[in-house]
Amino acid sequence: MTTHTGPTPASSYKTTEGRVFTVTGGDWDAMLSDIAGGDNPNDEERLIINMGPQHPSTHGVLRLVLEIEGESVVQARSVIGYLHTGIEKSCEYRNWTQGVTFVTRADYLSPSFNEAAYCMAIEKLLDIEVPQRAETIRVLLMELTRISSHLVTIATGGMELGALTGMTAGFREREEALHLMEFLTGLRMNMAFIRPGGVAQDLPAGSRERIQAFLDVMDKRMPEYDKLLSGQPIWKARMQGIGVLPLEGCMQLGITGPILRSAGLAWDIRKTEPYCGYETYDFEVPTSTDADCYARFLLRLEEIHQSLKIMKQAMERLDEPGPVMVADAKIAWPAQLSIGSDGMGNSLEHVRKIMGQSMESLIHHFKLVTEGFSVPAGQAYVAIENPRGEMGCHLVSAGGTRPWRVHLRDPGFVNLQAMPAMSEGGMIADLVAAVASIDPVMGGVDR
């Protein structure tokens, strides 16, 4: 007599998506034989599996539901919403300036772009122009953020494909970018430094030297990525011809950013619909016609080089002094900001200055901070080019001190629609490469 100690037989039931099997452990061969003994042993059964939201080879809290035959993906669906934080709705309960601290946390890898699009939409409703120096600082911060975001894309993509040295190199350079961001704004991420009417304050003393030091480090280290990854046979084999999405597919799905440019269309809002004075900067928009994962990797590398080029030009313009906030004291919040030693709030010196002025001045400052300024009724939409594509902000004002509606058009959300088109019919391992090349940031996708 033989005692059976193998797996518990797989129970099954029918659903609208087909037959679902529940396996409680044991031997894989026994499970397959149990499946084969179902209603019709001649049926070719497909497995439906979950990748995520905790799977190491998915970005953040993205969940993929895959229908597979062996190692081939027959159908792929994305399930999102695990990181929904109510950012857009929360903005309706804060004044216009306080909304910056919410939107900066949407796509947490590109906070400067969230802030810029939101503030530019407010400025469009107010019909005001930002001082030139403030626009230069905005460009500097956005390009620095673009570099750090692309480095994360390359690093995490390398990790997911097994190139761990690429991961350590990418995060090494990203630390350099975040150190510079912390020096310039006081915080590494979610800075809320770009404000309606300009920026929170002028850059600190020694900024030019620190920016130049960062540029020198990046110029020295960027060639290492070509030596480490670009020509590496395994890296190329995992990415070339994988996740292909031609231009027609990109146009039908509304895809923007590096995915669209990898298909041959040089669509970059910095060039096609310039803002913040981008038309005065000398830079190129790299493109490719390969439309695969490898092309997107090469494009992001080249975009880092172009961003470094823009940063150098912006740094040279910082030699020209000027205001960093609009002169209208009814909008410039907080008026003549001076950040405290802890990186938050006003410095004691500035508080003493406010308290030492007239009572009317103190009351005005108090009302400006607590109530905020009024924005004329209307709506505005502003689009900018963030690391993943077209980042848009749609604002609706009812004429009060708070937004009536805030909506962010995040390119990661739109681009994620391309995942089935890129991966269905391929291998599971190729799906991992395709998702990495899309570069979805779930904070922006789920908002």
pLDDT tens figures, 62-119: 888 889 888 889 999 988 888 888 999 999 999 999 999 999 999 889 999 999 999 9
**399-427 pLDDT, tens digit each:** 999 999 999 999 999 999 999 999 988 89
pLDDT band at 335 (very low <50, low <70, confident <90, very high): very low
Residue 343 above 70 pLDDT? no
Q: What angle do CA 389, 77, 32 make, to 5 degrees?
A: 145
Centre a 10 Å sphere on the Cβ of residue 202 and count the other Cβ atoms it contains: 18
- Residue ranges per structural domain of the chain: 11-79, 87-333+372-446
Q: Distance between the two ends of the chain, CA-based, in angstroms?
A: 61
**138-177 pLDDT, tens digit each:** 999 999 999 999 999 999 988 888 888 888 999 999 999 9
CA atoms within 13 A of residue 180's CA, in its CB half-sphere: 25
What is the distance between the alpha carbons of residues 359 and 357, in angstroms, rounded to a whole number? Answer: 7
> pTM of the full predicted structure?
0.85
Structure tokens at 323: 């205001």
Q: Measured on CA atoms in the order 90, 91, 93, 95, is the torsion positive or negative?
A: positive
User: pLDDT value at position 34?
Assistant: 58
Q: Measured on CA atoms in the order 268, 383, 244, 303, is the torsion positive or negative?
A: positive
Q: What angle do CA 98, 99, 104 make, to 5 degrees?
A: 110
What is the distance between the alpha carbons of residues 6 and 397, in angstroms, rounded to a whole number? Answer: 65
Q: Are 123 and 116 in contact (CB under 8 A)?
A: no
Rg of the chain's alpha carbons, rounded to an integer?
25
Q: Which position has the higher pLDDT, 341 or 441?
A: 441
Q: Are 408 and 392 in contact (CB under 8 A)?
A: yes
Centre a 10 Å sphere on the Cβ of residue 394 and count the other Cβ atoms it contains: 17
User: pLDDT value at position 362?
Assistant: 73
Q: Which position has the higher pLDDT, 383 or 16?
A: 383
CA atoms within 13 A of residue 142's CA, in its CB half-sphere: 26
Q: Closest Cα to residue 17, out of 46, 43, 37? A: 46
Phi, psi of 31 (to 5 degrees): -65, -40
Structure tokens at 55: 């799977």
Q: What angle do CA 111, 408, 171 make, to 5 degrees?
A: 30
Phi, psi of 379 (to 5 degrees): -140, 155
Measured CA distances, 147 to 54, 109, 306 (Å): 27, 10, 9
In this structure, which long-range contacts are made by residues 276-281, counting pairs with CB atoms below 8 Å and at least 24 apart in sequence? 276/116, 276/120, 276/135, 276/138, 276/139, 276/142, 276/384, 277/132, 277/135, 277/136, 277/139, 278/139, 281/139, 281/310, 281/313, 281/314
Structure tokens at 377: 């009724």
Strand partners, 406: 395
Average pLDDT over residues 200-204: 90
The CATH number corresponding to 87-333+372-446 among 1.10.645.10, 1.10.1040.50, 3.90.1150.10, 3.30.1360.120 equals 1.10.645.10
- DSSP element (H, E) containing 87: helix 87-90
What is the distance between the alpha carbons of residues 383 and 106, in angstroms, rounded to a whole number? Answer: 16
Percent helix, strand and coil across the chain, each to the nearest 5: 45, 15, 40
User: pLDDT value at position 26?
Assistant: 55
What share of the chain in percent tops pLDDT 70? 84
Q: Measured on CA atoms in the order 220, 224, 225, 226, is the torsion positive or negative?
A: positive
What is the distance between the alpha carbons of residues 90 and 83, in angstroms, rounded to a whole number? Answer: 15
Q: Are 104 and 114 in contact (CB under 8 A)?
A: yes
H-type alpha helices, 230-319: 233-239, 247-253, 258-261, 269-272, 293-317
Residue owning tokens 């205001």 = 323
Please give the distance of CA 266 from its chain centroid, rounded to a whole number. Answer: 20
What is the distance between the alpha carbons of residues 227 and 425, in angstroms, rounded to a whole number? Answer: 32
